[in-house]
Amino acid sequence: MCNSRGVTDPITEPRNARSRRTRTAVLAAARAILEERGPAALTMAEAAERAGVTRRAVYLHFSSRTELVIALFDYLAEEEGLHESVRRVWQRPDSVAGLEEWARHLARYHPRVLAVDQAVRRVRNQDPDAARHYRRATESQRANCRRLAEWLAHEGRLAPAWTADSATDMLWALISSDLIEALHVERGWSEDQLAGHLALMFRRTFVDPAGVAGSAAAK
C-alpha cells in the first residue's frame, strides 16, 4: 500500500529478474554520469545507452527524468549505507559523543553523495512531486537533528543561548551539501579533516563546557 519508491513510479512492485537488472543498470549509469560530468550531462538518452537499453525502456521504469533523479536519491542511500551511518550516532554513550559522531557521519556519507544530491536539489525546484519527496527526505534529517538537540538538552549539555528548537534548525541547516562540497572538493579537505573540524565547530557551538564536566549539573 505504501510504496516508498517513486512518487509517480508507474511500476508498482513485483518485477522479474530482467526488469530489476535493467532498473539497477539505469540507476548505476545515471549515477556514473552525474559523478563524471555533472547534472547537465544526465540525459535519458545517455543513461539508456550507458545502461545498454533504449531510451524508451528507461521510460518504462521512470516516468520522467525528475523521477529517475529522485529514485537515485533512495538508490544511493541504500548503496552507501545511509541508515547504518546514522545509526552509529545513537549508539554513542552520551549526547556529546553523539554530536561528534554526527559530524563524522556528515564527513563520511555526504561526500559520496554530492553529485546526486546536486541533481536532486535541482529537480526539486521544478517538479512539485520532487519537492514533496525532497521534503520527506529532509524531514527525516530534521528528525535526527531534533533528536540530537534534545539529547543534549536532556543531559544538560546544550550551550546557553540555544534552545532545542533553534539548535535543531541550525544543526539541520549545517547539513549543507554546499558546505561539504566547498571544503571537501574545492578546498581538498580529507574526510578526517572534515570530520574533525565539523566536530570541533559543533562542540564549541552547541555544547555547554560547564554542563557536567565542569562542576555543576553533574547530578
Q: Which stretches of the chain bind a copy of itself, using CB under 8 A?
A: 38-40, 118, 122, 125-126, 138, 159, 161-162, 166, 169-170, 172-174, 176-179, 182-183, 186-187, 189, 197, 200-201, 204-205
How far apart are the C-alpha atoms of 144 and 206, rounded to whole Å? 15
Q: What are phi and psi of 158, to 5 degrees?
A: -75, 125
Q: Does 65 bind DNA (CB under 7 A)?
A: yes
Contact 164, 153 (CB under 8 A): yes
Q: What CA–CA distances, in Å, run from 135 to 80, 101, 117, 164? A: 21, 24, 13, 21
Closer residue to a copy of itself (CB): 8 or 176: 176
Q: Which does 210 bind (CB under 5 to 8 A by kind): DNA, a copy of itself, none?
A: none
Q: Which stretch binds DNA (CB under 7 A): 38-46, 112-120, 131-139, 175-183?
A: 38-46
CB of 155 to a copy of itself, least distance (A): 18
Which residues neighbour 61 within 8 Å (Cβ) at sequence distance 6 or greater?
11, 19, 22, 23, 26
List residues near DNA by CB under 7 A. Answer: 11, 15-19, 21-22, 42-45, 52-57, 59-61, 63-66
